[in-house]
Structure formats: C-alpha cells, structure tokens
Amino acid sequence: MDNGAIAFLDILGFKGIWQKESPEKVLSIMTGITELIQKSYKKPPPEKGYGELENPFVTILSDTIVLGYKSVESPSCMLPLGNIIYQLVHYFLKFDMFFRGAMTYGQYIQEGNTFIGPAIDDVAKWYEIGILTTPKCNYLIDYFAHLKTDVNSISVQTFVKYDVPGKNKETYRLNVLNWPGYLQASHNRIPEKNSKSEVRKLIEQKFGLQAAFDASVLRKYENTLKFIDFCVDGLNSTRA
C-alpha cells in the first residue's frame, strides 16, 4: 500500500443540480476541478520539510471528490493538501456551491476509481463542519498544527482546534481546516470586533441563494457560521 494524505470532499446540494443548471455547465464545473488543481499546485521546496511529494491526484465520483498525494516521509504533507482544498473552496463559491469532508494521512491503495485501505476507511467515516481531520489524524496534526501560512501579511493557521458538533449534541475536539481564515485574509482585512466579517457576509449571501431547506440543513448552516466567526476572530491577534 501507499502512504500519503487523502481527502474525501462531499459536494452539498449536488443531487438534482441538473434541474437548475444545464448539464453542460455542471460538467464544465466538475471537469474544471482537475485543471484548477494542476494549475494552482506548487510543489513545496525540500527545505519546507514536507518530504518528497508526488503531484496530487483527483478522482470525481458523482458528488464526491477524492483528492490527495503520496508521501511516505511525513504526515506534515497535510498542510499543502490544505492549501489545495482552499483553492477548491474559492472555486466552488464562484458557482454558489459548497462542500464538506474529511482528510487524513495513512495507507491506501488505488486502482482506477477504486480506493481501499485503512486511510480510506478512516476518512470515509467523518463528514461534519467544513473540512476536518479524522480523530486518528488529529493526533498527528497536533505536532505541527502551530505552523502558519502568510496571506497578505496576515498569519493564518492552516488548522484550528474546534469543538465539532456531532449527533445527540455531542462534540469532538478536532483539527479543522481554517478555510474561513484563509478567505478573510485574502480580503486583506481583519474585521473590527463585533462586526460581520467579509467571509460571513459572503457565506450568508450564498446560503440565501439555496433552495428551500429543512431544520436539519438550517442547523448545519448555523454551525458553519459559528465556525466562520471562530476562525475569523482568531485572526485578530495574528497579524504578521
């Protein structure tokens, strides 16, 4: 089996999307994913300490995106994988689309569109807020979660520790990809205290464009907004 970082991303609201968008546009959006990753991915230099990384692979299975790359040397390769996913967040928001998912580091094997292995079993079990790390991978990331990325002179943590809501009001303390922090820093502004951030305004606007939804979806939307506020508030003390 191979070792590496891998993510399963579940596109929200994808089923039935052909009813409001032409099939040609949907196919164009999905086929554009591979091109985006190929153009935006920059292999980290050796001095970054991520080990020898292969180019990322992407497989699209209906509303699920399988993304990752092989790396036998270090689970810190989760950090550049996070940067790839951040590019996808930007891409899907242009089409008023969202996704959630999970990412991990471990062993797997791929043959065409088929993936098996302990890492696959691990990552397929966890889909909650945004892009979280699985509990197993959570402990690995604790060793390098303090590392940050500079975005417009704002220091952004790639992962943040967050109480992820589960079923029956349970919560799980996990590392979650800090995509709201990335998005806010891309606006080159840290919002004033108690004011709405650009990211929250953007996501609220996107939520308002969705079809009618029930209480379970509302709960997910509200949980997402809470996560956004948490991440953006964390930028207040990290100006580089």
Residue ranges of domains in the chain: 2-237
Structure tokens at 110: 């791929």
- Alpha-helical regions (H) of 100-197: 118-123, 135-141, 179-186
Q: Which residues pair with 172 in a beta bridge?
A: 164
Per residue in 12-53, pLDDT tens?
A: 766 666 667 777 888 888 888 888 888 877 776 665 666 666
Name the band, by pLDDT with cuts 50, 70 and 90, for residue 106. confident
Q: How far apart are CA 162 and CA 57, in angstroms?
A: 28
CB contact set of 2 (below 8 Å; sequence gap of 6+)? 70, 72, 107, 108, 109, 110
Give 43 or 123, the one with higher predicted confidence: 123
Phi/psi for 6 (5° steps) reads -145, 145
User: What's the average model confidence in pLDDT over 192-211?
Assistant: 82
Percent of the chain scoring above 70 in pLDDT = 87
pLDDT of residue 236: 55
Sign of CA dihedral 148, 51, 174, 65: positive
Per residue in 140-161, pLDDT tens?
A: 888 776 667 777 778 888 888 9
Give 188 or 118, the one with higher predicted confidence: 118
DSSP 158: S
**CATH fold of 2-237:** Alpha-Beta Plaits (3.30.70)
Pairing of strands 2-12, 98-111: antiparallel
Give 146 or 225, the one with higher predicted confidence: 225
Question: E strands, 131-170, where?
Answer: 131-133, 148-151, 154-157, 159-165
Residue type, 174: L
User: What's the average model confidence in pLDDT over 203-221?
Assistant: 80
pLDDT of residue 15: 66
